[in-house]
Amino acid sequence: MKRIDQNIIEVPVEAGMRIPGRILAREGIQIEQGALRQLKDACRLPGVVEVWGMPDIHQGFGVPIGCVAALDGYVVPAAVGYDINCGMRLLTTPLPIKEVDTKALAQRIHHFIPLGEGKHNVALNDDDFTIAIEQGVSGLFHLGKKNHLVWEFWGDEEEQGVLARIEDRGSMAGDASAVSRRAFERGKDQLATLGGGNHFIELQEVQRVFNKKLADRFGIFEGQFTMMIHSGSRGFGHQVGDDYMKLARKWDEAQGGCQPNSQLCFLPLESKEGRNYLSAMNCAANFAFCNRQLMAVLVKGALRQILGELAIRLIYDVTHNIAKYEQHRGRLLLVHRKGATRAFGPERMKGTMFADTGQPVLIPGSMGTASYLLAGKDGSELTLSSVNHGAGRVMSRTEAAGKKRRPGAISDDEFAQSMEGIYLICEDRRAIKEEAPQAYKDIDLVIESVTKAGLAEPVARMIPKAVLKG
């Protein structure tokens, strides 16, 4: 690797690479060899135009998590991943944190939202589920039978400007006919569930405001009580990803085998398979938008049950596992973001309510460290209008928590110390150390890589007071 400047590292072309890669990372950011190998493989894909590693880069499946790859003519299911449209949502209240019993609220939210893998909550019939996955959040306004508590909490505010505060207005062009029956069955009763792994609901305090003008514009103030939701497309999206990764491997075998690695198969966009993947991926993205929307309604319902009627505002909802057509470098490219967040500056947000600020960008740390609200800047064009999606792992899950009789790298005492002062609800206490703060990079250093490079403007830093995990 060759450092270009204090923010950017270049990965020079070597055998089979069509282009050099670049990594956004200041000194002190750890880059593991497995992630570097996968980034080089992304640079070997056909039709590849540009590849970036984000400062949270770490080894994933096919390509690193924290990877942005722009291609012309091809789609790569593994460069989106299994948890399609895993993303973030930030809600604010007018309350200072000192007026909120975060423990009681976390317990009430837990009563409404199932945590962990394989859980079920809001069930839809086939017709209503088809509407949800083809239309996204806007489709939720037009469902038929409504037999769940979430609809009792559903208020007029859900139809007043919420779509403008969701990336792509919470809807991508989905076609349910491209989705397998297995995926359909896995998804139709899983809406409003959190999932496991690194997904969370956090009750937070705004610890610091960096840019008061932007903070005022977003309705953010120091000491404020905010809530953040991190979840994706659950078993539905996983099945869609699995179905089309298998299909891409079969297509590759029929062509004689030309993928950069065994996980990194691709499909031509002109093929029926490629078009169907985009349609199915969009359905999974719509599921995830609906999933976060319904969880937000339940969170708001829980808060109002305890504290009465009050204004609860959506700042923004962003995705960080997706492929989309965007204009870059004078060309229409399919930009794959895996573990990376779109960060459009004011120029690209023209015609929206964020034309004067840039897109709100939500970047969590880990359950014991800070999360950030930023605003995209026009300088993000450098990295295909993208930034990281989180802190990024420095330990594998097994390394952090241990396995069977092998102890993990993080002791129980170290874990307890890192979570001091934070009320934790988790579904699987045996696996919770996989998500320990020590297993992740320093979020402040990661954010510095983004802000010093001029990609986004820091607005506020939030710290967790209560965390719900799978």
Active site residues: 389
Residue 252's alpha-carbon distances to 60, 278, 338, in angstroms, are 21, 18, 22
Question: φ, ψ for residue 383 (rounded to 5)?
Answer: -110, 35
User: How many Cα atoms are found within 13 Å in the side-chain-facing hemisphere of 245?
Assistant: 20
CA distance 35 to 55: 12
Pairing of strands 423-426, 456-469: parallel
CA distance 450 to 380: 9
CB burial of residue 175 (10 Å; 0-12, 13-18, 19+): middle
Give alpha helix (H) positions in 77-123: 102-112
Amino acid occupying residue 432: I
Tokens of 449: 């890589």
Task: State the virtual CA torsion across 133, 289, 80, 35 in degrees, nearest 10.
Answer: -160
Region for 79 from its dihedrals, namely left if φ exceeds 0, alpha if ψ lies in -120 to 50, beta otherwise:
alpha
Q: Coil, strand, or helix at residue 165?
A: helix
Tokens of 405: 């009789």
89 touches 215 (CB < 8 A): no
Tally the residues of the chain: 470
Tokens of 155: 């208020």
Q: What is the DSSP string of 72-135?
A: SSEE-GGGT-SSTT-EEEEEEEEEEGGG--HHHHHHHHHHHS--BTT---B---HHHHHHHHHH
CA distance 48 to 41: 11
CB burial of residue 27 (10 Å; 0-12, 13-18, 19+): exposed
Residue 356 is classified by DSSP as T
Tokens of 451: 């802000």
Pairing of strands 48-58, 371-376: unpaired
Tokens of 399: 């390394």
Nearest CA-CA partner of 197 in 400, 422, 369: 400
